[in-house]
Amino acid sequence: MSEDNRTASEKWLEDRAPGFKDLPEPDRRAIFDFAFLWSLFESQVMGNFAQAGRIRAKVDEWAGVGNLDAGLYDWELVYFRNRYFADGKLTYHFDFLFLRNTDHPELVKAVLEGANNDPRDRMLALLMIVWRLRNNLFHGAKWAYELRDQLGNFTHANSVLMRILDRHPA
């Protein structure tokens, strides 16, 4: 991005945030967009309070009324399966999700490995991954590697959030 078009906050981040200066514009944009999309999702879908248990309850609600439509998210699921599971095992990227017990790690693993293809569980696994991306970004874990290699993660997470917001408006 040319220096003329940078905002004051971008200039500040370039000067002070590790790796930000070298972060390509598409990566920055995807991460900025994610922050807004997550905020809108949390407001409109999660009633201003997201946590793993409430996300699970929302997925169960959608499944219960028949408007889960997990197949609409297959493209994103393929991306995350390829990122976190390859050559018959979980990749090193998986550990950096930092899944907690409340994030249904065994279910997420089973879905990523393809052992569990239940529509409800696929949707829950996707949202647990998006949830962890959110937590890792907003709580600083992503700065450990200077936000590198995140374009695909946030592009696909943004796609999930936009589709959910379209399908399940407030």
Question: Does a structural domain hold residue 41?
Answer: yes
Question: Does a structural domain hold residue 139?
Answer: yes
Query: Which two tokens mark 83?
Result: 């990122």
Boundaries of domain holding 48? 20-167
Question: Does a structural domain hold residue 3?
Answer: no
Number of domains, the chain: 1
Contact criterion met (CB below 8 Å) for 150 and 134: no
The pTM (predicted TM-score) of the whole model is: 0.93
Per-residue model confidence as pLDDT tens for the chain (170 residues): 555 678 999 999 999 988 899 999 999 999 999 999 999 999 999 999 999 999 999 999 999 999 999 999 999 999 999 999 999 999 999 999 999 999 999 999 999 999 999 999 999 999 999 999 999 999 887 776 668 889 999 999 999 999 999 999 87
Distances (CA, A) of 92 to 85, 88, 104, 163: 9, 13, 18, 28
CA–CA dist 7, 90 (Å, integer): 39
Question: Does a structural domain hold residue 128?
Answer: yes
